[in-house]
Amino acid sequence: MVVARPNIHVKNRVAIVGAGLTLFRRRMLETPRELAWEAARMALEQAGLTLRDIDCVVIGSAPDAFDGVHMKGEYLADGAGGLGRPTVRVYVGGGTGVFVPIAAWWHVASGLCRSVLAVAEEKMSPAHPHPQGVFAYIWDPILERPLGPNLIWIFALEMRRYMYKCNVDKKTIAKVSVKNKRNALDHPAAQAAANITVEDVLKSEVLVWPVQRLDISPVSDGAGALVMVSENEARRVTDSPVWVEGVGWTLDNTHWYNRDLAYPRYVNYAARMAYKMAGIERPWKEIDVAEPYDPFDYKELHHIEGLMLARRCEAPKLLEEGWFERDGELPTSPSGGLLGVGNPIAAAGIMKVAEIFWQLRYEAGARQVKKPVHKGVAQAWGDLMQAGTVIVLGN
């Protein structure tokens, strides 16, 4: 069966039929393969399938240097159900979490596999004194590293540029952190859920001005998994499949000198690709719920604009109006996002896709958004800070 989409021909429509997550915590006892197994088992259970029903496995995990094991996709493959099957690990840094379902999509859409287990795992706790050290190697060794930078420098510069360009103050940006950490109170896997105020954010420790402690997502261990199947298979196992309607991914320039710091082009191009595939022309009207990538609070606003859910520099205004609250016009990060649920890099992205999946099935419980939902978008950002990955889901 060949299904025609507005601008793409695929062999099979692809549906998500199950999702699973482990707890997100600073230090987990479980090994990487055990984390992958716990999430994957939960996803299979929700789909009503067993490992026997799975044709192919896609694993995603960010730098090997976090877990401290080279080729860690292979290292945890048995936990991800990958032994004796066509298995591949994909990796685009922080964008991996959304790239895993994208890769799983083309496994199924091409007709190569009927059912795919998509597993993302991250264990950031082994690196000492702090996993922050792992990030040192993303810098240009000649032009940047001699200055002794750390990761937060990037975000401080971006945040500053965004604040300047869009004339936003820290008070407004802090509201993202307040919103997401509060949303996360309803998330059973959450690590950093809290009822805080804007004042708490503004009074928290300054890390690299203007970035403060409560502007940042935590360091986490965790895993997430999705079961993705072809249309025939989906109709067999569930009455409420969630369709993958569009996927997109883009690389921007990793070098600072030629990259727009105030506007995430990498997300915008990826989003345009995904919307085009999904036949979405006015995302700000057609998208009902969104999970933009929010490792930092300003980054959510940044990405809302990149996803064209708000005009440039308009996101802070809409935020002030309560537009992005769970009962708002366009709820963003109803899960609690990375700021609230936690940030085990690859697993955090798949957590966002899982949240859209649960929202579109009306299974999010206390986290369910107030408005009726038909289409949702999840997005992540990574590599050397310049990769955008976007997935559009519909019910």
Partner 1 sequence: MAWSMWWREPRRTYRFPGKMEVEKYVYTPGLHGLEAARALKEEGKFLGTRCGDTIYYPPTTLCPDYTEGELAEVKGPWRITAYTVVRETLEGERLEKPLVIAHIAPDDAVGGLIHYVDASPDEVYIGMEVEPVLKPKEERRGNPVLDITHFKPRRPETEE
DSSP assignment, residue 11? S
Q: Is 372 in the site for partner 1 (CB under 8 A)?
A: no
Asked if 55 is part of the footprint of partner 1 (rule: CB under 8 A), the reply reads no
Check residue 219 for interaction with partner 1 (CB under 8 A): no
- Residue 180 touching partner 1 (CB under 8 A): no
Using rule CB under 8 A, residue 104 touches partner 1? no
- Per CB under 8 A, contacts with partner 1 among 139-168 are 141-142, 145-146
Task: Please tell me whether residue 48 binds partner 1 under the rule CB under 8 A.
Answer: no
Of residues 18, 73, 79, 295, which one binds partner 1 by CB under 8 A? 79
**Nearest distance, CB of residue 137 and partner 1, angstroms:** 8
> Among residues 38 and 288, whose Cβ is nearest to partner 1?
38
Residue closer to partner 1 by CB (options 130, 370) is 130
Binding-site member from 55, 64, 78, 231 for partner 1 (CB under 8 A): 78
- Decide if 228 contacts 105 (C-beta within 8 A): yes
Q: Residues 9, 29, 205, 258: which binds partner 1 (CB under 8 A)?
A: 29
Of 47-55, 248-256, 320-328, 351-359, which part binds partner 1 (CB under 8 A)? 47-55
Closest separation between CB of residue 260 and partner 1, Å? Answer: 28
**Binding test (CB under 8 A) with partner 1, winner from 11, 112, 126, 208:** 126
> Which of 14, 15, 19, 28 is in the footprint of partner 1 by CB under 8 A?
28
- What DSSP designation does 337 have? H
- Calpha distance 33→56 (Å, rounded): 17
DSSP string, 67-119: HT-TTHHHHTTTTTT-TTS-EEEE--GGGHHHHHHHHHHHHHHTTS-SEEEEE
Does position 77 interact with partner 1 (CB under 8 A)? The reply is no
Judged by DSSP in three states, 340 sits in helix
Task: Give the separation between CA 269 and CA 290, rounded to whole angstroms.
Answer: 17
Residue 51 CB, shortest distance to partner 1, in Å, is 4
Please pick, from the candidates 60, 81, 283, 292, the single residue that binds partner 1 as defined by CB under 8 A: 81
From the number of C-beta atoms within 10 Å of its C-beta (0-12, 13-18, 19+), residue 104 rates as: buried
DSSP-derived secondary structure for 270-291: HHHHHHHHHT-S-HHHH--EEE
**128 touching partner 1, by CB under 8 A:** yes
Closest CA to 348 of 222, 182, 180: 222
Q: Which amino acid is located at 44 in the chain?
A: L
Kindly state whether residue 53 participates in binding partner 1, applying the rule CB under 8 A.
Answer: no
Cα distance between residue 337 and residue 335, in whole Å:
5
The residue type found at 358 is: W
Distance CA 123, CA 135 (A): 14
**Best CA proximity match to 6, nearest among 229, 231, 275:** 275
Q: What is the distance in angstroms between the CA of the first residue and the CA of the last residue of the chain?
A: 20
Residues lying near partner 1 in the complex (CB under 8 A):
27-31, 33-34, 37, 40-41, 44, 50-52, 65, 68, 78-79, 81, 83, 125-129, 131-134, 136-137, 141-142, 145-146
